[in-house]
Structure 1
Amino acid sequence: MNWDDFFKDLQKWMEASNMMIQKLGLGSSQYWKWCIETLGVLENRYPHPLVVKFLVDILSYQDEAASQIQGRKQNENRIS
């Protein structure tokens, strides 16, 4: 397992993810399709149990961030 390559690719993925969030929005179905597909590519490229844990945690983090944004939007709609 080449951890240097994995972390370089992960850093590239995170940069691409930030760009996709800006372009599509964190709550969009297009972003989530892209997110799951590209994390799957990383998982296949680096078949290691620890890689899977990293990627699951990243997906979970993104999901929590999207839920927080959605919660804020719902609160704003109630106040308006």
Structure 2
Amino acid sequence: MNWSDFFADLQKWMQASNVMIDKLGLGSSQYWKWCIDTLGVLEKRYPHPLVVKFLVDILSYQDEAVSQIQGRKQNEQKKI
């Protein structure tokens, strides 16, 4: 397992993810399709159990971010 290559690719993915979030929005179905598809590519490229854990944690982090955004929107709507 070449960890340097994995982390370099993960860093590139994170940069691409930021671009896609700006373009599509974190809560959009298009972003989530892109996210899952591209993380799947990384998982296939680096078949190691620890890689899977990293990628699952990334998905979990993104999901928590969406939940926070949605929670803020609901709180703002309640104030109106």
How far off is 1:6 after superposition?
A: 0.2
How far off is 1:36 after superposition?
A: 0.2
Which residue is equivalent to 2:36? 36
**Aligned alpha-carbon RMSD (Å):** 0.4
How far off is 1:76 after superposition?
A: 0.5
How far off is 1:23 after superposition?
A: 0.5
Superposition misfits of 4+ residues, deviation over 2 angstroms: none
State whether structure 2 residue 65 is matched by structure 1 residue 65.
Answer: yes
- Which AA in structure 2 matches 1:58? I
Q: Percent identity?
A: 85
- Secondary structure of the corresponding residue to residue 8 of structure 2: helix
Q: Any stretches of 5+ residues in structure 2 without a counterpart?
A: none
Matches within 5 A, 1:1-80: 1-80=1-80
How far off is 1:16 after superposition?
A: 0.3
Q: How many residues align?
A: 80
Structure-2-length-normalised TM-score: 0.99
Q: Any stretches of 5+ residues in structure 1 without a counterpart?
A: none
- Secondary structure of the corresponding residue to residue 26 of structure 2: coil
How far off is 1:60 after superposition?
A: 0.2
- Secondary structure of the corresponding residue to residue 4 of structure 1: helix
Structure-1-length-normalised TM-score: 0.99
